Amino acid sequence: MSQAEIGLIGLGVMGSNLALNIAEKGNRIAVFNRTVEATRKFYAEAGALKEQIVPCETIEEFVAAIRPPRPIIIMIKAGDPVDQQMDILKPYLSKGDIMIDAGNANFRDTMRRFDALKDSGLTFIGMGVSGGEEGARHGPSIMVGGTEDSYRRVEKVLTSIAAKYENDPCVAWLGENGAGHFVKTIHNGIEYADMQMIAEIYGILRDGLKMSAAEIGDVFGAWNKGRLNSYLIEITEKVLKAADPLTGKPMVDLILDKAGQKGTGKWSVIEAQNMGIPATGIEAAVAARSISSMKEEREAAEKVLGLPPVGELKVADRDAFLKDLENALLAAKIGAYAQGFAVMSAASEEFGWSLPMPAIAKIWRAGCIIRSQFLDEITTAFTKAPDAANLIVTPAFAAMVKETDAALRRVVSTAVLGGLPVPALASALGYFDSYRRGRGTANVIQAQRDFFGAHGFDRVDGADSHHGPWGSGLNV
């Protein structure tokens, strides 16, 4: 019997779906799970794909079943369990073998693991896999970080299983060590922002215009046929139109308003702050999820503070306002992507990755959660202007921001005056207004810093800056 082309450890939902995808695309795969029963169950339910699967019940059997140099995907809970699994594997591996973490790992853990294996003869790949269970089974977007040689060993398999956009596989080698997991982290940060902005628009339609869930679903369905066409807009229409089979009520109205998070959004905010890159949309989205989890506190606060004394929004032209909402969401979405790509650009320089921005936009066009039609436009924008300081100053996106800015301003002001929380939409407006302003107000901050701390400052006239407490030399 021929050896497997690749191995996979961890037959949970994601691991099982990824293994079936690999087998279905004609790749022989060895599988192993810590509990033998899970391996046997997976194999028994594999149907016609059994011929491509080698079920293994011991680590020795598993490693021996894979063609050297052996690529082994580890698809288990992120963190210490990955380190523990690597320690178990190492004694059975040979020079050139590759351990691949395909979970939602912190890229700094990936860098540590990569470095730890440098002199061992083994190597490590940190692989971001986006698309959830459906993507893992039928075609995810795949972001790879590791040595280029190790990528070439698995390129054929990964290209076969990746999502396809117009026959172009959504997989790329992005750089060494943590590059793949970093890009996946920022992908998830943009996803947080995108989802929060959609939720805020939903809130305006539900609480401001008093529309039903089905009516709001129709609005999102119409938007999905235009420039907002994307996976998240598509599924928003579907969830808003779904009915509870027990009561017949809209399913969304029965779901508790507490959103969970797995950590990648928070990591993206932390890394943006570490590099001094503003990612206000992602920050607002992460904070909004945290506030959403404080359900009891929010209910208690409402009893103490009450809600703003406003009811239905007074909108003179409903159709015009709906158009404003569409354009405002597009503008805010552009802001979130611009911030995410700016963070990746800074990380590329800091960690020496040379992240290919057009390629990243390309592999996000299918298979991943934030796939949308304007990723083609982002690809084109960065191809034409690879050194652009920010996406929103490229010609195409500058034009889009100018076109939609007024709508975003009207929507944010209407929502705020109506007492409706729109932290992510407002953050996008604040980002645009701050970024586009040649002369800001930080001169006052610098003046304050110098006054109480002798920091010194830069003068607009180029003269020597004053140092020291102003009381000793300036007339204040």
The residue among 131, 137, 113, 132 whose CA lies nearest residue 123 is 113
| Strands of the sheet with 71-74, listed across from one edge | 53-55, 29-32, 6-9, 71-74, 98-101, 123-130, 141-145, 171-175
Helix (H, G, I), strand (E, B) or coil at 71: strand
CB atoms closer than 10 angstroms to residue 136: 25
Q: Is residue 372 within 8 Å of 229, Cβ to Cβ?
A: yes
- The tokens describing 123, both together, are 């190597």
Q: Is the dihedral of CA 154, 160, 161, 166 positive or negative?
A: positive
| Alpha-carbon span 339 to 344, nearest angstrom | 9
Q: Is residue 99 within 8 Å of 122, Cβ to Cβ?
A: yes
CB atoms closer than 10 angstroms to residue 471: 9
- The tokens describing 141, both together, are 């977007």
| Alpha-carbon span 178 to 271, nearest angstrom | 13
- The tokens describing 150, both together, are 């190790």
Q: Is residue 145 within 8 Å of 175, Cβ to Cβ?
A: yes
* Helical ranges in 224-317 per DSSP H: 231-241, 264-274, 280-292, 295-305
- The tokens describing 335, both together, are 């802001």
* Residue 335 φ then ψ, to 5°: -60, -40
Q: Is residue 371 within 8 Å of 364, Cβ to Cβ?
A: yes
| Alpha-carbon span 39 to 54, nearest angstrom | 10
Q: Is residue 341 within 8 Å of 357, Cβ to Cβ?
A: yes
| 3-state DSSP of 322-360 | HHHHHHHHHHHHHHHHHHHHHHHHHHHHHHCCCCCHHHH
Residue identified by tokens 């506190």 is: 297
Q: Which helix (H) or strand (E) covers residue 183, if one does?
A: helix 179-203
What is the separation of C-alpha 363 from the centre of its chain, rounded to a whole number of angstroms? 13
Active site residues: 184, 191
